[in-house]
A and B are shown apart, each in its own frame.
Chain A
Amino acid sequence: MATTKHAVDLTVNGESAQVMVEARRTLADVLREELGLTGTKLGCEHGVCGACTVIVDGRTARSCLMFAVQANGCEITTVEGLDTDGKLDFVQQAFTENHGLQCGFCTPGVLMSVHSFLKNNPNPSEEEIRIELSGNICRCTGYQNIVKSIAAAAAASR
């Protein structure tokens, strides 16, 4: 039942870490259980809901569908890497000002998607925002204030 463990080197939010994990262990579980970065959430564990979204080498990834061994040598950003000593970044700030979150469970994944998206498209239309956001399920907000928050974040970044 127990299988061989592999050394995996990661840089997470700028800090380097080495973990010994079974090949089957997901990146999400390593971030959450081994590194204690529980901000990344698991909502479906089959790649649909987007709550586990993190940024791996500059691109968003579903950390529930990625094995930790696949992330060996990668630079990863999680929600814990966004604020500066508790000071919210421009996306987080836009979300609190526009009530873009309720229960907060989808929020970390949404924030990571938004960061990646705005980097590639700093001036999105509402339609583009909705298309990009469609990979993140939220059950509380009806997406109304999330769309508004993203538009506000985009405006703030310009």
Chain B
Amino acid sequence: MDKVTSAVRLPKDRSIRKGKWIGARVQRVEDPRFLTGSAKYVADLTLPRMVHAVFVRSPHAHAYIVSIDKSVLPGLGKTAFAFTGEDMREVPALIDVVTLETLLKTPQHSLALGKVRFAGEAVAIVAHADRYIAEDLAELLGQAIEYDILDPVPDVAAASKTDAALLHPDIGTNEVYRETETHGDIDGAFKAADQSFSLRFHHNRYEAAPMETRGVLANYERPDSQLTVWSSTQMPHFLGSIISGKLGLPAQRVRVIAPEVGGGFGQKMCTSPEEIVVPWVALQLGRPVRWIEDRREHLLSATHAKEQYVNLDVAVKNDGKILGIKGEFIGDGGGYSFNTESALIEPALAAKAFPGPYRLECYEETVAASLTNKSPAAAYRGVGWTASNAAREIVIDEIARGLDIDPADMRRMNMLDADELPYKSITGQIYDSGSYKESLDKALDAIDYPAFRAEQQRLRGEGRYTGVGISCYVEQTAWGSDSSAQAGTPLPSHDNSTVTMDPGGKVTIGTSVSGHGQGHETSLAQVAADGLGIDIADVRVLHGDTLTSPYGLGTYASRSAVIGGATVARAAADVREQVLRVAGKLFEASPEDLLIEDGIISVAGAPSLSKTMEEVAFAAYWDGGLRDEEPGENHQPLLSSTRFYDPPATYSNGCVVVLTEVDTDTGVVKLDRVVVVEDCGTVINPMIVDGQVHGAIMQGIGGALLEHLIYDADGQPLTTTYMDYLVPTAMGMPNMEVHHLETPSPFSIGGIKGMGEGGQVAAPAAVANAVADALAPFGARITHFPLSPDNVLRMIGKIA
């Protein structure tokens, strides 16, 4: 929309000290404990007198709870314990925090109270010292619950029927939100157009499916009024705040620990009802309670994601220039407009991010969400953006085919040039920097695009159908106050890191970003090591424990490299100054004249005058003669600093190109090549960046080809094991070729941008476009995911 020059508030000093560590392919320091089986996840923790909890879950999609007869349980109150929604009635319900006037709220009791709204909703919890017996008890209690079954609302179409059953009768509708916002002269754009194209696209419901399911261990020590909760969460401090509020405990009496977390991908962000129930039971019993979700339970009741109906109408000139787009984004929120970000988490984010790397001057966005009898929708890697990017890139290919323009040329014509950045998109997203056309060109060069086209023609003559799919993306990262506001879901951000050098000259970092496979212990140690001129072996990174880490929001939305990196860099810079100040006194030299290299502090130009970091740190703590008479605010003897950072939004970008061959007899899609070009600005550890790209691409391919949470017309889930819910295995994954461009952000400290999600945002459209390109001779159109063999055969009219 406009060239942006001074729209964001930038910190004065955005530099970061780069030495031998930042940018190096450093092996992960955390690996040995995972490789030797000594890493401890929640399920690996036990406490004396611990009881095992099992949830009793609704077998019905939609029903009133008539009665629950706990008296069937042998040993009730002695060896067997059971609680229901009635028992937890006084505990405040979970609710979203989105401040939009027209968004209807649907509070969710942690255990269903009076009514169930999806099959799998937690109705009661039982506990016993033996997990096997606890499972038996849950089965017994499940049989002692009487339900009054209601008509199901299995999907958005059913939700909006005039005679539809209401999930939440108090709000009088199943549609919790619908608003339209217009930018530019959209009617004028359609009048000026030569043609218009439409896409009606249903993005599938799938989920994060981390290898470690959810799990909570809670222990309440009554004498100290101290609650400790171990949870497989991405946001320990935030969860602590929520638990404190719901259970009425002072915050300093609630300690939350995220031990090792076996994957999160966004699903472990929002508060699970179970994360309230288990600590509450620990309070009632005064003994430790542990709940470990099993996989069936996970597929039934952990939050789902990504389902949307995206309806697009695009006004274009015959040369391919896009004049305007009308987009309708309808989310299927499931049984509750879920806590934290509401049922808008998918459609609202989709609508705002929709323009992507293109120049869009007229845009009408309609955002809506309905509730249905399914497990609630919440965050998952590339939330909103996966469906949005898929729909946009698919329609661009359809238009190119319709106008007989090459799909790469169609993109180039509408794409922003590097010198147009920073740029404020029509939805108010401020793209800081990027390499949109360069990444497209680089990806096409990698596959030798003209050669592929020639070969494609030749193979078609032989009755073989190959295709190329292009998907370009812009990825909003650095999720702080600014980024969340630009995404359309404003949330104030707060994060800190503490860097402390001990009297032995070694460094411990406490950070509010909370890793679960991303390698933070290595990346943040690299930043600190460069900041202080020491070896990463001398840096230890602590995270995931509210007692040892300063307050902050944790890890999600590709924020940790930007925020964690900057808070560590700033705090390390302070400690460096503190060290040099002490060293200056030791050398009787000015701190500005001192150097630190490989842990040795010396006077510039006089290398014989040197001391080790250990000698200087020891002096700082123990040489009273070096202290100021009255230690001031900036000159405490303690070598430590805590720094805050709330970054401006940064936008990474890239391009994914997929080559495929489709078997038109079986409908099987084979991926021949996956080429990725990514640009996330300054890279801390390229090995870790590659790993993030690989994982995100795989999850995107999984969603495009395999993964699908299916409900029948009664609202019964049909995908409740890993034999029905298919995730990618090694056999289905081709080699990925990852190429890099590096355009540092002019906004963020050190030029770092996030990069955890782009692959998942872009890969599905690349797969879809490759399939549609392969099947173009059949006039095949993509209307829904996944592109399973039956879907493919329907696309080409082989089956009805």
Residue ranges of A at the interface with B (Cβ–Cβ < 8 Å)? 1-2, 22, 24-25, 29, 32-33, 37-46, 48-49, 51, 78-80, 82-83, 86, 88, 92, 95-97, 99, 101-108, 111, 129-131, 133-147
Partner of B730 from the list A29, A39, A104, A134 (CB cut-off 8 Å) is A134
Within the assembled complex, what's the spacing in Å between the Cα atoms of A96 and B36?
11
Residue ranges of B at the interface with A (Cβ–Cβ < 8 Å)? 27-28, 31-41, 43-44, 46, 74, 131-133, 136, 208-213, 260-263, 265, 292, 294-296, 516-519, 687-688, 690-691, 694-699, 721-723, 727-731, 733, 735-736
Within the assembled complex, what's the spacing in Å between the Cα atoms of A135 and B696?
21
Given contacts A43-B212, A96-B32, A143-B698, contact A102 B37 (CB under 8 A): no
- Contact (Cβ within 8 A) A96 B27: yes
Q: Which of A22, A103, A107, A111 has the largest number of chain B CB atoms within 10 A? A: A103
Given contacts A25-B132, A45-B294, A86-B36, contact A139 B730 (CB under 8 A): no
B731 contacts across to A, CB distance below 8 A: 130-131, 133-134
B691 contacts across to A, CB distance below 8 A: 99, 102, 140-141, 144-145
- Contact (Cβ within 8 A) A92 B517: no
- Assuming A95-B31, A104-B260, A145-B694, what are 16 further A-B pairs, CB within 8 angstroms? A1-B74, A24-B132, A33-B131, A37-B37, A38-B44, A41-B211, A43-B212, A46-B295, A78-B37, A105-B260, A134-B730, A137-B211, A139-B265, A141-B698, A142-B733, A144-B690
- Contact (Cβ within 8 A) B211 A88: no
Within the assembled complex, what's the spacing in Å between the Cα atoms of A1 and B517?
40
- Contact (Cβ within 8 A) B295 A40: no
B730 contacts across to A, CB distance below 8 A: 129-131, 133-134, 136, 138, 143, 146-147
- Contact (Cβ within 8 A) B698 A44: no
- Contact (Cβ within 8 A) A141 B694: yes
- A52 to nearest B CB, angstroms? 11
- Contact (Cβ within 8 A) B517 A102: yes
Closest to B45 in A: A38
Given contacts A1-B74, A142-B697, contact A107 B34 (CB under 8 A): yes
Closest to A104 in B: B34
- Contact (Cβ within 8 A) B31 A103: no
- Contact (Cβ within 8 A) B211 A49: yes
B74 contacts across to A, CB distance below 8 A: 1
Closest to B729 in A: A134
Q: Is the interface of A mostly helix, strand, loop or mixed?
A: loop
- Contact (Cβ within 8 A) A142 B44: no
A144 contacts across to B, CB distance below 8 A: 690-691, 694, 733, 735-736
Closest to A40 in B: B37
- Contact (Cβ within 8 A) B263 A103: yes
- B263 to nearest A CB, angstroms? 4
Given contacts A130-B730, A131-B731, A142-B733, contact A38 B37 (CB under 8 A): yes
- Contact (Cβ within 8 A) B32 A88: yes
- B567 to nearest A CB, angstroms? 23
- Contact (Cβ within 8 A) B295 A43: yes
Within the assembled complex, what's the spacing in Å between the Cα atoms of A78 and B37?
9
Within the assembled complex, what's the spacing in Å between the Cα atoms of A79 and B735?
28
Given contacts A46-B722, A137-B727, A142-B697, contact A103 B32 (CB under 8 A): no
8 A-B pairs with least C-beta separation: A39-B37, A104-B34, A103-B517, A105-B262, A142-B698, A142-B694, A79-B37, A38-B44
Closest to B38 in A: A39
A1 contacts across to B, CB distance below 8 A: 74, 133, 136
- Contact (Cβ within 8 A) B36 A103: no
- Contact (Cβ within 8 A) B32 A51: no
Query: 9 pairs across A/B with beta carbons < 8 Å?
Result: A22-B132, A24-B132, A82-B36, A103-B516, A133-B731, A138-B211, A139-B727, A140-B211, A141-B694
Within the assembled complex, what's the spacing in Å between the Cα atoms of A92 and B36?
8
- Contact (Cβ within 8 A) A139 B699: yes
Closest to B695 in A: A140
A43 contacts across to B, CB distance below 8 A: 211-213, 295
- Contact (Cβ within 8 A) A80 B727: no
- Contact (Cβ within 8 A) A96 B212: no
Within the assembled complex, what's the spacing in Å between the Cα atoms of A79 and B38?
9
Given contacts A1-B74, A82-B36, A95-B31, contact A103 B211 (CB under 8 A): yes
Q: Which of A40, A101, A141, A143 has the largest number of chain B CB atoms within 10 A? A: A143
Within the assembled complex, what's the spacing in Å between the Cα atoms of A134 and B729?
5
- B739 to nearest A CB, angstroms? 14
- A45 to nearest B CB, angstroms? 6
- B26 to nearest A CB, angstroms? 10
- Contact (Cβ within 8 A) A44 B40: no
Closest to B298 in A: A44
B722 contacts across to A, CB distance below 8 A: 44, 46, 48-49, 137
B261 contacts across to A, CB distance below 8 A: 103
Within the assembled complex, what's the spacing in Å between the Cα atoms of A78 and B688?
28
B211 contacts across to A, CB distance below 8 A: 41, 43, 49, 51, 103, 105-106, 137-140
Given contacts A45-B295, A51-B211, A137-B729, contact A142 B736 (CB under 8 A): yes
